[in-house]
Structure 1
């Protein structure tokens, strides 16, 4: 539900709409403008690359009118029927299984009676081309239709039967499929030649085109019709006809030529007679091409949309993402080709639609994911920005592994702060005012930490814990931490001076700064984690903060932190043993307002103290009396006078 809220109703509706559109395109792209053209092109490519390469088919022979025939007969249109009559008479004696004639007899010629006589005498099953003006509006006129019907009526009772030579071309004028059966038309030529009872009578799927195994050969042998019209030469070709199916028609340049899916491979179109031959061979082989079932195409469409959507969410190394994308690309390219090569009819297989649907789903979910990610990033950046500086937060958002659930040993600068007297104050004023004051105070402290590039570890009541050097370390972390420690004390002074009227006085903010090793990382478990630091350095910083009360100071730092701060504003404040510790710590107080010469003089005095010079202690006391109000200096003199030379003062 949170994801939906982050996505928003408008973007959610748009995403669902795009996914639905992706599914429809992945299923119905053959029926969409432009996409259908791409689908046909891909189908033609698949067919031409997977078409069976064969030697000339021994079952089918073509007897053709070619351009040489036209020259010899001196007739172009209509074709010379005397030649046809003589050739049919000779073919009838050669033992062909059937003869199919792809020539329309649709207008009168002087040789018609001779041709009719030949037809009436035919003993070989013969099938004469028939076409209807209703299905060939541009090619057959009314008077042609009348003559065609009348001519074929005169063949009633003979072995010559009508057969449809209709082709079905797609919108790009390419023949890809068997024509759908039209009521009123006789059986298709190839079906009629094989007794007309074949199940291919109702077949309307793809034509199985084949290509020659050798470049200088053809799938079907073809012989000029004039060889069979001449009695002297016809007998020599009897063996080429015996026991075969004979297709008789024209292979004349620019006449009856059709584009087929093989054009990308062969580089040329195909005569109508050849198309009939391919269909006849397919029928004889019973090569009924089955398509994927409807549930299969729906299933794949859903699968590719889901794959596209999930792919947009892939993450990890580039090579892993590339591997999965390559597998999917291989499917889009290879699966349709494999189906075609395996004998499945891939016409109307939405291969292009799959790719488009995948891309749309990828883009839709990717856009939605980026929107959610952006929203989450803004939220995370806002949340991290409350604890981390902006540049570190951005680096962690770019590389979340930096905040993995583990700890690592790091050297860090730790700052502890505490607001003196706030707990007692909280019992003296209304809870609403307590919350208001505390929130304002913590905001001021947090702003300082983040301004100086620190990481906020935790709030403990009015106490603030912060560190520098993790999760990302920077060369100037020491200076940042030192400046932040002093700025937090200043912010505390500003806060206590600006409390509303009626609120009892608030104490100063005490700050402790230390440098040391700590275990830093996410702790608490996968469900509830906190990025924090653990270790002795944290305790030392806490004790330095607490020591301020007894030392009369506001900010106190260890020598380990001072030596790495890169700042010269420190004054040494002796050696102390912090509460609960046994090892002494050299402590320093930031005094940026003190002149450099005064700081150097102070350091020289402390060096003399370390060397056992009692006069140096007296000079420090005179300095404390002269300054007045410097509680930390007064406390230092007190400690030096009440401990052995070279020793350490033990704090309560």
Structure 2
């Protein structure tokens, strides 16, 4: 016999037909277990694995939500141009508006521009007058320019004497001189390509392609240093390589993202820009001398700065203070300085960006599946989004790292929404399951009563008249040790299935399981005026059911099921902490019922019923009702009780003559022990399997002539 009272419960639910072994459920939104108590019963799950089932399932769904959301978001930002443009725009804003501005113009580079002011003085606009260019090259040489980079394509002859003048000026330039290169992809025909190569060779020019790489939205964000199908490098790469000690990249397809840094003010430019006319035709000698000093030892880029030609949109335009497009020659100069410095914008690489998006998706998924109210989930998601935005802004403000913005925020939001949808499904499913699971403990009316009265799920109790029923299988520990776990599980599921069905059929409530034992209540949570009658009839049917089950499984050596029933006042309600509690009964009535189950072992009976239960059952049944045949055991002193309790047993047979003879012999124990002894001897010979005549015969033979049993 296992100890009662505060014994550890068996973590399993009462199985119903076709549902054997199903575990008890958590109360929605409370994290408590629902079970035997109807209004607010709490039951642990059937095992450690069972207790973890719901959290593990929700964790699994959180992973699924995160994976789906992240995959969809990454695919959307990769393949859907309008969505990708959103992240591109945000990235531009971080790099241009949030990140620190350029502190000043790069002192290594100057740009000399061919403007409308220059072209208007010539009879033709293109090609640019080469005699004028010869004078410009000479002026730059006189100013002490370190290197000359012409963002100009010399693809056709002009006036011969002017062409020769430019060739001579270029050959005489003291430093490296470079010019733009093109092929059929730039619209040049074979003759133009041949002229370009010959002109460069004669003038001593190094050629590099000056292609500008634009994204789908027409904005220049990237650059290439090599071009497929040719060994030519880009013009900035060739220029960087022309400086001592520089090693420009030469791997096919190499390039990168332009590290755009906004100028210090709205009217400033990235580099010092000087119109060419100021050099070739200075307004006075002082201005000419000042410009010459400004160009000394600088790399000078020469190119057009025209409103309708070779101007490009860059990320710098997201700055409200700088909406202008910039000339192609300025882009070439920006790439050149970036290659010289070997720098790149601190963008999150593909792996890091994907990891950040995945992490945000995971956070959103977890929040969506937390057992919180919708308001708190929304608040938590919003807080995560704001916190991430603050981190992104802070890192960008320090120009430390540019993290993905829109994909990460979208992943967290989408994963949270996915998880909310799944949480809604799981909650509806669990609600249905709770209703089914309650049927394992309660009759349907009680289940509906619980569903209609969720406010009863709170701590508290009340004193109530009710009946308690305890069961236990004799010698079950030995039987359990002999059986493999799978067979034992099937056996016990079938046993509990049958026994619980009897309890529920009589309107009882499954309170708890303690190993192989069952504890049931009659009269709680729903009051039952005839609780004692129901408990008595239930005990009789459980005895028949258990014996039939024992007979079917006789080869396994299952012992008899002992049952104790007692009626009285007990305190019933929710007992425990604010987050975890049981609906159960406590008090002396509960302890007596447990002791009665145990006394069966001493008397050899299977069902022991207190005088209080029998009297109340007879009163509820009326004179015409058929009650189980009862036998008087005697007044028994139970452990922990100062007064003996009158106890009766449900007879193991229905032979009315023998039952009457037993009661007559029992009445003689105190008044005529010798006559009682003779009667019990005759009774034992007639019915040797009847345990009570054998018990009293043994006591009388030992000289104990009393109907009071000192202790049991």
Pick the TM interval, shorter chain: 0.5 to 0.7
Aligned to 2:11: none
Q: Residues of 2 paired with 1:288 and 1:82: CA distance? A: 39
Q: CA RMSD in A?
A: 5.1
Judging changes above 3 Å, is the alpha-carbon distance between structure 1 residues 166 and 491 closer, same or farther for their aligned structure 2 residues? same
Structure 1, residues 390-415: CA drift from partner, whole Å, max 9, x if none? 46644898997x4xxxxx65224333
Which of 174, 179, 183 aligns to 2:224? It is: 179
Alignment of 1:106-505 (within 5 A): 106-110=155-159, 111-134=162-185, 136=186, 140-142=187-189, 146-156=191-201, 158-182=203-227, 183-184=229-230, 186-196=232-242, 198-202=246-250, 204-230=255-281, 233=284, 234-265=288-319, 266-289=322-345, 292=348, 296-297=352-353, 299-300=355-356, 302-316=358-372, 325=381, 328-330=384-386, 332-337=388-393, 346=402, 351-364=405-418, 367-368=421-422, 370-387=424-441, 389-390=446-447, 393-394=450-451, 402=458, 410-416=461-467, 442-446=503-507, 457=511, 464-468=521-525, 481=527, 484-485=528-529
Structure 1, residues 251-285: CA drift from partner, whole Å, max 9, x if none? 11121111212221122322211212222232343
| TM, length-normalised to structure 2 | 0.57
Structure 1, residues 510-549: CA drift from partner, whole Å, max 9, x if none? 99786x75574269xx9xx963121258789999995475
Aligned to 2:583: 531
Judging changes above 3 Å, is the alpha-carbon distance between structure 1 residues 416 and 153 closer, same or farther for their aligned structure 2 residues? same
Query: After the TM superposition, which of the residue ranges 71-80 and 86-95 deviates more from structure 2?
Result: 71-80
Q: Residues of 1 paired with 2:168 and 2:496: CA distance? A: 117
Q: Is the 8 A contact 1:3 1:372 kept in 2?
A: no
Q: Is the 8 A contact 2:511 2:584 kept in 1?
A: yes
Aligned to 2:147: 98
Query: After the TM superposition, which of the residue ranges 266-275 and 93-102 deviates more from structure 2?
Result: 266-275
Q: Is the 8 A contact 1:257 1:272 kept in 2?
A: yes
Judging changes above 3 Å, is the alpha-carbon distance between structure 1 residues 357 and 458 closer, same or farther for their aligned structure 2 residues? closer
Aligned to 1:474: none
Q: Is the 8 A contact 2:100 2:398 kept in 1?
A: no
Q: Is the 8 A contact 2:312 2:327 kept in 1?
A: yes
Structure 1, residues 362-421: CA drift from partner, whole Å, max 9, x if none? 455555555444444332332235546346644898997x4xxxxx65224333389xxx
Q: Residues of 2 paired with 1:581 and 1:155: CA distance? A: 121
Q: Residues of 1 paired with 2:207 and 2:518: CA distance? A: 103
1:157 CA displacement:
5.3
Q: Is the 8 A contact 2:532 2:617 kept in 1?
A: no
Query: After the TM superposition, which of the residue ranges 40-49 and 199-208 deviates more from structure 2?
Result: 199-208
1:222 CA displacement:
1.5
Judging changes above 3 Å, is the alpha-carbon distance between structure 1 residues 522 and 360 closer, same or farther for their aligned structure 2 residues? same
Q: Is the 8 A contact 2:365 2:415 kept in 1?
A: yes
Judging changes above 3 Å, is the alpha-carbon distance between structure 1 residues 45 and 545 closer, same or farther for their aligned structure 2 residues? farther
Matched residues, number: 494
Judging changes above 3 Å, is the alpha-carbon distance between structure 1 residues 462 and 120 closer, same or farther for their aligned structure 2 residues? closer
Tell me whether 1:554 sits opposite 2:554 in the alignment.
no
Q: Residues of 1 paired with 2:426 and 2:339: CA distance? A: 58
1:354 CA displacement:
3.5
Judging changes above 3 Å, is the alpha-carbon distance between structure 1 residues 255 and 387 closer, same or farther for their aligned structure 2 residues? same
Q: Is the 8 A contact 2:522 2:532 kept in 1?
A: no
Q: Is the 8 A contact 1:457 1:466 kept in 2?
A: no
Q: Is the 8 A contact 2:86 2:406 kept in 1?
A: yes
Judging changes above 3 Å, is the alpha-carbon distance between structure 1 residues 199 and 32 closer, same or farther for their aligned structure 2 residues? farther
Q: Is the 8 A contact 1:63 1:224 kept in 2?
A: yes
Judging changes above 3 Å, is the alpha-carbon distance between structure 1 residues 126 and 57 closer, same or farther for their aligned structure 2 residues? same
Judging changes above 3 Å, is the alpha-carbon distance between structure 1 residues 28 and 205 closer, same or farther for their aligned structure 2 residues? farther
Q: Is the 8 A contact 1:127 1:163 kept in 2?
A: yes
Judging changes above 3 Å, is the alpha-carbon distance between structure 1 residues 184 and 439 closer, same or farther for their aligned structure 2 residues? closer
Structure 1, residues 579-630: CA drift from partner, whole Å, max 9, x if none? 9999xxxxxxxxxxxxxxxxxxxxxxxxxxxxxxxxxxxxxxxxxxxxxxxx
Q: Is the 8 A contact 1:210 1:278 kept in 2?
A: no
Query: After the TM superposition, which of the residue ranges 125-134 and 280-289 deviates more from structure 2?
Result: 280-289
Q: Residues of 2 paired with 1:195 and 1:551: CA distance? A: 108
Judging changes above 3 Å, is the alpha-carbon distance between structure 1 residues 187 and 154 closer, same or farther for their aligned structure 2 residues? same
Tell me whether 1:41 sits opposite 2:95 in the alignment.
no
Aligned to 1:574: none
| TM, length-normalised to structure 1 | 0.61
Provide structure 2 residue ranges, at least 5 long, that are not aligned to the other structure.
1-48, 470-494, 541-564, 597-608, 622-637, 644-712
1:130 CA displacement:
1.6
Bigger RCO of structures 1 and 2 (CA < 8 A, at least 6 apart): 2
Q: Residues of 2 paired with 1:6 and 1:552: CA distance? A: 43
Query: After the TM superposition, which of the residue ranges 111-120 and 388-397 deviates more from structure 2?
Result: 388-397
Q: Is the 8 A contact 1:122 1:159 kept in 2?
A: no
Q: Is the 8 A contact 1:385 1:393 kept in 2?
A: no
Q: Residues of 1 paired with 2:613 and 2:192: CA distance? A: 122
Q: Is the 8 A contact 2:61 2:419 kept in 1?
A: no
Q: Residues of 2 paired with 1:224 and 1:490: CA distance? A: 108
Aligned to 1:79: 128
Matched residue SS, 1:53 = coil
Q: Residues of 2 paired with 1:130 and 1:436: CA distance? A: 89
Judging changes above 3 Å, is the alpha-carbon distance between structure 1 residues 231 and 385 closer, same or farther for their aligned structure 2 residues? same
Aligned to 1:590: none
Judging changes above 3 Å, is the alpha-carbon distance between structure 1 residues 102 and 160 closer, same or farther for their aligned structure 2 residues? same
